[in-house]
Amino acid sequence: MEPLIVPIEDALDLHTFQPREIPDLLDDYFDACQSRGMATVRLIHGKGKGILRARIHSILKEHPRVKSFRTAPESEGGWGATLVELKT
């Protein structure tokens, strides 16, 4: 099976990934974003019960490439998305 090639954009929809895949996925995604000069990205986790959002936020708190993060404004998904500022 060939790996899936996903274009690197400033937003990543996490709905299609298993929770166990997210830590490694974020490592790879942040690395690719930084190599392309992206300083801010948006992670789309959905609103739901907030379980995925809480998991992602716990990862972001400890991630060495993350400078800061916050809930996205309503125009960019509100509490269903998180804006992440990457370290330069």
Looking at the structure of the chain, the number of domains it has is 1
pLDDT of residue 53: 93
Tracing tokens 């309503």 back to the chain, one arrives at 74
In a domain, 6, yes or no: no
DSSP 38: -
Q: Tens digits of per-residue pLDDT, 12-66?
A: 999 888 889 999 999 999 999 999 999 999 999 999 888 899 999 999 999 999 9
For residue 21, give both structure tokens: 């895949």
Tell me whether residue 61 is exposed, middle or buried, using C-beta atoms within 10 angstroms of its C-beta: 0 to 12, 13 to 18, 19 or more: exposed
The CATH number assigned to the domain holding 17 equals 3.30.1370.110
User: 8 and 25 in contact (C-beta within 8 Å)?
Assistant: no
